[in-house]
């Protein structure tokens, strides 16, 4: 199985698609955002600094992100491939990631770009809720991932929560940063002929079926 980098605007469906791929192909989903949110809960200066940046749509330093990532992809469960969600965010991080891959003798794999309109993404971010225990993501504005019981996790039967950074103001800050920094990243990978674009505006099933076709072609 090839390593996968998922790129998309915030709330375009990276996390949902990564969860489906993890279940179907048995490879780990590495979300730098989830890792940092866990760090932000710690009662330490580092935890408080990370929480402030997350709440205000500010990127955490590259050095910290890269240190976390390098440690994670060396774990045994990554030997047969993994899914990167939230990294790299810009060309500088991509260049540092290549150095790590070269050092570890790992292949970059493929890059999947989920394209979605601002209107669709904003609607999703405002409806997103998460289980604090299993981290499963639901959306009150999207029929196919609404919880069965309003406000409750289907599996854990506990109350769902809204992330502190899932507000319109914070979202627009993150979206503008995405446009500024991540578009050049897509062009960087397109020059390497490893980018595949996917329409993320229709439905979760539609997006996932596009991804499966690409993976089937690339892993045959």
Which distant-in-sequence residues (6+ apart) come within 8 Å of 151 by Cβ?
129, 159, 160
Q: For residue 115, how many other CB atoms are within 10 A of its CB?
A: 15
What tens digit of pLDDT does each residue of 161-201 get?
998 778 888 888 888 888 888 889 999 999 999 999 999 99
Where residue 204 falls among pLDDT bands split at 50, 70, 90? confident
Give residue 135's pLDDT.
86
Is the pLDDT at 220 greater than 60? The verdict is no
Element of type H or E holding 115: strand 110-115
Q: Which residues contact 38 (CB under 8 A, 6 or more apart)?
A: none
Model confidence at 36: pLDDT above 80: yes
Per-residue pLDDT of 47-82, as tens digits, reads: 898 889 888 878 788 888 888 888 889 999 999 999
Which distant-in-sequence residues (6+ apart) come within 8 Å of 146 by Cβ? Answer: 138, 139, 140
Query: Domain limits of the chain?
Result: 4-116+169-219
Q: What pLDDT is recorded for position 157? A: 95
Q: What is the pLDDT of residue 58?
A: 82
Determine the average pLDDT of the residues in 115-129. 89
Phi, psi angles (nearest 5°) of residue 161? -125, 155
Q: What is the pLDDT of residue 219?
A: 56
Nearest to 36 by CA among 20, 47, 23, 24: 47
How sure is the predictor about 26, in pLDDT bands with cuts at 50, 70 and 90?
very high
For range 89-97, the mean pLDDT: 92
Per-residue pLDDT at 218: 59
**What fold characterizes domain 4-116+169-219?**
Rossmann fold (3.40.50)
Three-state secondary structure of 24-66: HHCCCEEEHHHHHHHHHCCCCHHHHHHHHHHHCCCCCCHHHHH
**Mean of the per-residue pLDDT values for the chain?**
89
26, 132 Cβ separation under 8 angstroms: no
Between 98 and 137, residue with greater pLDDT: 98
* Catalytic residue positions, numbered: 14, 89, 128, 163, 174
CB atoms near residue 33 (< 10 Å)? 17
Mean pLDDT over 129-143 rounds to 89
> Cα separation of 95 and 78, whole Å?
20
Task: Say whether pLDDT at 84 is over 70.
Answer: yes
Closest CA to 198 of 183, 182, 209: 209
Query: What is the predicted pLDDT for the residue at 169?
Result: 86
């Amino acid at each position: 199985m090839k390593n996968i980098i998922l790129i998309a605007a915030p709330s375009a469906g990276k996390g949902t698609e990564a969860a489906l791929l993890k279940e179907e192909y048995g490879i780990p989903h590495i979300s730098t955002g989830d890792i940092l949110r866990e760090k932000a809960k710690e009662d330490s200066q580092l935890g408080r600094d990370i929480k402030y940046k997350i709440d205000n749509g500010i990127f955490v330093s590259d050095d910290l992100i890269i240190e976390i990532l390098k440690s994670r992809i060396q774990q045994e469960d990554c030997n047969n491939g993994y899914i990167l969600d939230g990294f790299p965010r810009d060309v500088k991080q991509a260049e540092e990631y290549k150095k790590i891959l070269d050092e570890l003798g790992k292949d970059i794999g493929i890059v999947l770009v989920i394209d979605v309109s601002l209107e669709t993404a904003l609607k999703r971010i405002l409806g997103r809720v998460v289980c604090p225990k299993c981290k499963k993501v639901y959306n009150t504005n999207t029929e196919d991932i609404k919880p069965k019981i309003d406000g409750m996790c289907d599996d854990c039967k506990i109350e769902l929560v809204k992330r502190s950074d899932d507000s319109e103001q914070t979202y627009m800050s993150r979206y503008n940063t995405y446009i500024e920094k991540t578009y050049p990243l897509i062009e960087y990978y397109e020059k390497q002929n490893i980018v595949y674009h996917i329409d993320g505006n229709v439905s979760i099933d539609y997006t996932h079926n596009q991804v499966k076709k690409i993976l089937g072609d690339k892993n045959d």
